[in-house]
């Protein structure tokens, strides 16, 4: 079972956004999980990631610099894929579980 953050009444987690570190991380994860194209792109980034790279950085490059970059620079809610507030470690973990 994936160990994703979830909404909780726990006071220690009250400073998070739906259990995520912040809105930007939650929003990026939500879009990848619920949009077929983004989901498949994320899976491909995990599958074809080189040893010197991470799935999340590869995904960001695909969105920002790739062929589709001029159209997909941000989530549908306006969060830029290269937003420094996005928790890259969590995104790498989430993306890795897409291919398990």
Q: Which pLDDT score, from 0 to 100, does residue 36 have?
A: 95
* pLDDT the model gives residue 39: 97
Helix axes 36-47, 55-64, angle to 10 degrees: 130
pLDDT tens sequence across 51-71: 999 999 999 999 988 766 556
pLDDT at position 15: 67
SS (H, E, C) the chain: CCCCCCCCCCHHHCCCECCECCHHHHHHHHHHHHCHHHHHHHHHHHHCCCCCCCHHHHHHHHHHCCCCCCCCCECCCCCECCCCCCCHHHHHHHHHCCCC
Give the residues of the chain that fall short of pLDDT 70.
1-15, 67-71
Q: Which pLDDT value is given to residue 71?
A: 65
Instruction: Give the pLDDT confidence score for residue 14 in this predicted structure.
Output: 53
């Amino acid at each position: 079972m994936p160990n994703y953050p979830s909404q909780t009444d726990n006071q220690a987690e009250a400073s998070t956004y739906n259990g995520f570190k912040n809105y930007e991380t939650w929003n990026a994860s939500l879009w990848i999980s619920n949009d077929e194209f983004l989901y498949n792109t994320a899976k491909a980034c995990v599958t074809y990631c080189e040893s010197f790279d991470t799935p999340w950085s590869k995904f960001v490059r695909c969105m920002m610099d790739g062929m589709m970059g001029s159209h997909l620079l941000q989530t549908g809610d306006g969060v830029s894929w290269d937003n420094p507030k996005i928790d890259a470690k969590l995104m790498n973990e989430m993306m890795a579980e897409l291919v398990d």
